[in-house]
Amino acid sequence: MGKIRQEPRPGRSKMTVIIFQLDGEDSTVQEGIRTINHAVTSIVKPAAMPPKSVSPANVLTPGNGGDESGDDETAADEIQDESSELHDGGAVERDTPPRVRTFKTPEVVNVDLTAGPMGLKEFLSQKKVADNDNQRYLAIAFWFKEYRQIPEIHNGHIWTAYRHMKWNPQPDIAQPFRSMKKSGLFGKGSARGSYAINHVGEGRVNEMSSGVSA
């Protein structure tokens, strides 16, 4: 016995039509139409548009050029700098300029740099510190300790010595201090922001006149 082939049933739809019949004066009919229109509009709401998703190409990950060893803050800055905000199909440039780090100018220390058997300028000339900031800092710290009995110096001492020698310091005056502290040539002073040259740093100063670099 053969099988009876069943034809697929066509889809069915349902639509309800509402008919309103109003009777009355023109003003009453118009008011009724406005009321019905307001009721129908409040029922029929436009479909909400789904939020735009962020393109994976704009996110730095280890698989597409990201750095696993970088910290979250640095990675976030890189994403913000390298990605563009899309608006109406075009790229929008950021209005906020990049922040520039500024450093406070230290105050001049009230100390005589010329009195005594060895002035600062003569001492630095003998050590031939040239334009090497590390050598300059070490020699200045040595001079303050040896000839002014000041074992700890800070940015103000360096600024004063550089002004006396007519040298231009770098914007971040404390940077050589931090660098040489890590290298074991300076120790941390008792006051905040102060540094003390140690015996290793003093040995480097004693070697400067013989041409040994710091």
By CB atoms closer than 10 A (0-12, 13-18, 19+), residue 198 is: middle
Per-residue pLDDT of 101-123, as tens digits, reads: 889 999 999 999 999 999 999 99
Q: Output the average pLDDT for the chain.
A: 76
* pLDDT band at residue 34 under the 50/70/90 scheme: confident
pLDDT at 53 over 80: no
For residues 46-74, average pLDDT: 44
| Lowest model confidence (mean pLDDT) among 41-50, 117-126, 173-182 | 41-50
Q: Which residue has the higher pLDDT, 187 or 88?
A: 187
What domains sit in the chain, N to C, each tagged with a CATH number? 120-208 (1.10.10)
User: Helices marked H in the chain — which ranges?
Assistant: 26-43, 72-82, 120-127, 133-147, 155-165, 175-182, 199-208
The pLDDT score that the predictor gives to residue 181 is 97
Q: What is the Cα–Cα distance from 54 to 89, expressed in whole angstroms?
A: 14
Q: What is the Cα–Cα distance from 214 to 205, expressed in whole angstroms?
A: 8
